[in-house]
Amino acid sequence: MAPHQLTPQQARRVAVRAQLLAAERPTDLLDTVRHLTLVQDDPTAAVAPSAELVMWSRLGSTYALGGLRDAVADGSLVETSMMLRPAEDVALFTAEMAAWPGVGELDDWEVALEGWVEANDDCRRDILDKLHDEGPLPSTELPDMTLIPWRSSGWNDDRNVRMLLEVMVARGEVATAGREGRVRLWDLAARVYPDLPPVPLEDALRIRRERRLRALGIARGRAAVSPGEPNDVGDAGEEAVVEGVRGRWRVDPAYLEGGFEPRVALLSPLDRLHLDRKRMTELFGFDYQLEMYKPAARRRWGYWAMPVLVGDRLLGKLDATAERDRGVLRVDAIHEDEPWDAGVRDAVTAEVEALAGFLDLVVERPESSG
C-alpha cells in the first residue's frame, strides 16, 4: 500500500482531532481519559495542575475542578509514574512489570539499576512490610535502610526511598494510593490496582502502540527515548508522508475521513498535542519551551505560559498566574506569534474568561498586558 500523502494542514488536523481539541467536545471524563490513554499528573499549579487543564481544555464547562481526583479516589483511574490511566489499563502493564528490568539483553543502565535494587533488597522488604501493616503512607514515613545510596548528577541524588519506590512501581509492587495535598501516598499495588488477568507482553505492547497512535493521530514509527510515555508507535496504523517534512510517519486512517471544525483552546504546557517538541516543530512550526526552570530574566513567554491553539495552528502563548488568595487570574501577557484578527482575539479573550470561571477566579489584566 502506498503511503498516505498529507499536507502539513491535514497532518495538524489529524493531530488536533485525535487529541479531542476540535469543535465537537467530548462529554464524559472517563471516556476522555480512555481515549487519551493517559493524563500527566504534574503538580505544578501556577494556573492549575496540568491534568486539570488538560481535562478542562477538552471537556470545557462540563468538567468541574477536582474531577480527576474524585475518579482516582473511587478507583476509576490509577496513577502510575505520575500518569493517570484508566484502572483497567493496568492489565496492559502487568506483564512488563513482571519482566522488570527488561526482556532479552539488558542495557548497561538496566543492569546497574538491577544491581542497585539487589544491594538494597532488605530496604525494599522493609518498605513492603511497613506498607502492609500501616499503608497508605507518605515516603517520609518509610524506612531508609539502603546500604548503597542512589547517586546521580541531578536532583534525585541521595533520594534513596523515592528512587526505590519508583523502581517498585515499575516492578508492580507498590502504587500511588492518593495524595494529601501535593504529597503522594504509597501502598501495596495489590490494594490499589484492580485484580485483572495480565495481557501477554507482546500483545500488551502492540495494543499500547495502537492506542498511543489513536490518541496522537500521527506520530513517528521510531522516536528518541523520552521519560514517561514513549512518542513512537512502531508499525501501528498506516504509513504516511507529510509534504515538506522529512521521513515517514504513521497515521491512524480513521482521522483521514470527515471534516474539521476548528475552535480556540488554551493548553497546558505539558499537553500531549505539543509535548513531543520535535513533532511540534515539524508539524506546527511552533516556537515554544517550558520556561519554569529558567531564570525570570531569560523567559520570553512566562513561567507557565499556556500555548494557544487556533483551529489547527498553535499561534501564541498566555502568560497568566492564578492568585487564589486574591481571587484573581492575573494575565500578564498574551503573546501573538503572528498578528491575530479581531475574531481570534475575541475568541481567546472568551477562553481566558472561561478559564477563570473554571478556577472560580476573576480575570485581572495589568495595564501592561498585551
Residue 179's pLDDT band, with cuts at 50, 70 and 90, is: confident
Q: Which fold has domain 264-364?
A: Aminopeptidase (3.40.630)
Q: Which fold has domain 88-191?
A: Arc Repressor Mutant, subunit A (1.10.10)
Structure-derived torsion over alpha carbons of residues 43, 45, 51, 57, reported in degrees to the nearest 10: -170
Residue 367's pLDDT band, with cuts at 50, 70 and 90, is: low
Residue 219 exposed, middle or buried by CB count within 10 Å (0-12, 13-18, 19+): buried
Give the DSSP letter of residue 220: -
Distance CA 310, CA 23 (A): 11
- Are both 88-191 and 264-364 of the same fold? no
Distance CA 358, CA 200 (A): 42
Residue 228's pLDDT band, with cuts at 50, 70 and 90, is: confident
Task: Report whether pLDDT(36) > 80.
Answer: yes
Residue among 246, 338, 225 nearest 286 (CA): 338
| Residue-range domain boundaries for the chain | 4-77+205-256, 88-191, 264-364
- The sheet with strand 328-336 has its strands ordered as 264-266, 306-310, 313-323, 328-336, 362-364
What is the arithmetic mean of pLDDT over 115-140? Answer: 96
Least confident of 36-45, 64-73, 157-166, 284-293: 157-166
Cβ(195)–Cβ(220) below 8 Å: no
Average pLDDT, the chain: 94
User: The pTM is what?
Assistant: 0.93
What is the arithmetic mean of pLDDT over 50-79? Answer: 96
Q: Cell numbers 501535593 label which residue?
A: 182
Task: Report whether pLDDT(157) > 50.
Answer: no
Residue 25's pLDDT band, with cuts at 50, 70 and 90, is: very high
